[in-house]
Amino acid sequence: MNALEMSKKYEEGSLTPIALLEPIAEMIKANPYVFISTTYERAYREAEASTKRWQTMTPLSPFDGVPIAYKDLFDVAGTLTTAGAATCLKAPKAQNDASVVAKLAQFGMVCIGKTNLTEFAYSGLGLNKYFGTPSNACDEDYIPGGSLSGAAVCVAKNIVPLSFGTDTAGSICIPACFNGVIGYRSSMKRYAQQGVYPLASSLDTIGPLAKSVKDCIILDQLLRSSNEEDTCLMHDVEDMKLIVDWDFITAQNIQAEVMTQFNQCIDHLKECGVNIVEKTIFAFSDALDVIDYFGWPALAEAYTLHKPLLESDQSAFLDPRVRKRLDDAQTILASTQITLYQKMTKLRSQLRNQLRGYFLLTPTVAHMAPLIKPLENEALYYETNLKTLRLAMPGSFLDMPSVTLPNRFRKKTLPSGLLVSGVSGNDRNLLQACYEIECLLKNKM
């Protein structure tokens, strides 16, 4: 059940927000490592108030009473923000909600708790040495993806219909892809990020994971306080502007099963009358070339942020894999970092000229979710992490809002993802296009 379906049941009187809390608590207990902390006392207060509002038909929003979880980088008043790290356990509790948490609470949404993640959100695999690793919702032997592992799993397992997380290099879209749910990475600064634990300020953004694009659209309207008419149902399929850059895709060593499902998806959209243009987007491939040559700009920023911790006795409590990546970043030259920022600015401008309102289609990740057990091998862990992040990194570098849609044409396989990306600031049109694509794919899968 997605959030909008839940809301309709509230309106009908066949379900109440308060009635959901006990089943949610039972599901959280049955799925270890998905949540780091829960806020049941707050949730009961919010759900009870919401139930009364629905009984008098005075909801604060369509999502009044809908339960939501937050990646444990978001401050929730009275709770500890751990960032998935044991070193944060002695930090003071948050005095206030993060801006997004506070705003959604004003619209009646019920905060269930804070979800697990890779330590400091610093990996695309979703493993956490201290708090444990949640099982992939599709197959427990496989990784959940990261960094926001728990936020994806709790939506995929129907614990809550919505969660909210952060994204620096694929942290929303990768776990959404691996668990077969929708993830929306917003343009930077679309939503306020006060009260959110950072990783790299030049790249950090936030966004939801959901069961439907429509839910993402409504969340966007709430957070933007938008009065725009919902025109999603008015779009003609023929008017969608989609691009596939086959030169880029064929150069990426994409796993055969992922490539098969991507091709099936493109063929199906064409059969439905969607006009998909084949065009090289040089800014996108150039961004990946820059990253390959100069490195990832978040590395130096993350090292600078955590340098005091790395130099303290508390560093002994860090996940050794996370610590190694942070330590390695201290050798990055200032001149290299400046070059990265300069190229970032230039390529973002070029991308706008090259896409011209179109949306780029790529696989979300070049491979299916890998098995957890083999990743105990250090070399394989680092190699797999880089491969997992690779297709998401150019979009993050270019501040491209992106939506990953489940792409599972063969039921017996793990899900892959279709990533739809646009230029910075074109989020609303992106969400509308993805709503149409989602409807077309549902008719096939």
* Distance from the Cα of residue 218 to its chain's centroid: 17
Q: Which of 99, 163, 171, 186 is catalytic?
A: 171
Q: For residues 415 and 369, give the distance between their C-alpha atoms in angstroms, rounded to a whole number.
A: 8
Q: Which is nearest to 150 in space by CA: 103, 184, 112?
A: 112
Structure-token match 């739809």, residue found: 420
Burial class (CB in 10 A: 0-12, 13-18, 19+), 246: exposed
Q: Which of 147, 402, 416, 421 is catalytic?
A: 147
| Maximum distance among all Cα pairs of the chain, rounded to whole angstroms | 62
The strand pairing partners of 420, in sequence order, are 361, 403
Query: Which of helix, strand or coil describes residue 71?
Result: strand
Q: Which is nearest to 155 in space by CA: 351, 307, 6?
A: 6
b or e along 264-295 (b: 16 or more beta carbons within 10 Å of the residue's beta carbon)? bbbebbeebebebeeeebbbbbbbbebbeeeb
Q: For residues 128 and 241, give the distance between their C-alpha atoms in angstroms, rounded to a whole number.
A: 40
187 as an active site residue: the answer is no
Q: For residues 38 and 61, give the distance between their C-alpha atoms in angstroms, rounded to a whole number.
A: 24
Q: For residues 154 and 44, give the distance between their C-alpha atoms in angstroms, rounded to a whole number.
A: 19
| 164 contacts 207 by C-beta, under 8 angstroms | yes
71 as an active site residue: the answer is yes
What backbone torsions phi and psi does residue 214 show, to the nearest 5 degrees? -55, -40
Q: Which of 7, 50, 71, 214 is catalytic?
A: 71
For the record, the structure tokens of 201 come out as 């300020």
For the record, the structure tokens of 422 come out as 């646009």
The residues, ordered by sequence, that sit 6+ positions from 268 with a Cβ below 8 Å of its Cβ are: 409, 440, 441, 444
Cite the active site residues: 71, 147, 171
